[in-house]
Amino acid sequence: QGIRTVNIIRDKEGVEKVKAELLSVGGDAVFTSSQRGEIEEFCRENTPRLALNMVGGRDTIQLLKCLGEQSSLVTYGAMSNSPMSVPFGLQVFKDITLRSYWMTRWTNKHARTESEDEMFGKLAEYFQTGEMVPTPHRENSFYDYSDALDNAFKLKQLFVVDKTLGDSRYQN
């Protein structure tokens, strides 16, 4: 699609693994929130027009500073559990538009409509062509929930109904 991304993630254990994963799925640059100088340098050379904000809180200011004029910030999460701070000057003088997105609202509005069919069709196409790839994960039977929970912080865990129904350990 020709969309370039800059990703700002929280400083936490395993950050290098998260950085590598984001780069492997198409991220152009990945920084931790403490890398302010590197973020500012990247943004001077690559002025983004769109920022996707999942964390909220004080890190939102970094995203806003990174954006060029007439850009948009879309917030879709609040992982920091802190209020989002938006300096008046950045919003007004750069003409930045603030938007929000909540998948549950979109799903409620578009369930079983042509829009939903189109979205899933496009996503399926991206996966079929390899433009999108699933994040590393492990598929589990519901019967293996204890093991899945034990490993949840190591690798994404998916519960698959077909795997549960076909699990011979629990059939009469």
Q: pLDDT tens per residue, the chain (172 residues)? A: 566 777 888 888 889 988 998 888 778 888 888 898 998 898 888 888 888 888 888 878 888 988 989 999 998 888 888 888 888 898 899 999 999 999 999 999 999 999 999 999 999 999 999 888 888 899 998 889 999 999 998 889 998 887 666 666 656 5
Distance of CA 38 to the CA centre of its chain: 21
The pLDDT score that the predictor gives to residue 123 is 93
Distance CA 41, CA 36 (A): 9
Contact 96, 73 (CB under 8 A): yes
SS3 104: helix
Q: Pick from 52, 46, 49: which is nearest to 96 by CA? A: 49
Query: Sign of the CA dihedral 59, 60, 63, 69?
Result: negative
- Rounded to two decimals, the pTM is 0.69
Here the tokens at position 64 are 């806003």
Here the tokens at position 158 are 């998916």
Distance CA 55, CA 134 (A): 22
Distance CA 65, CA 97 (A): 13
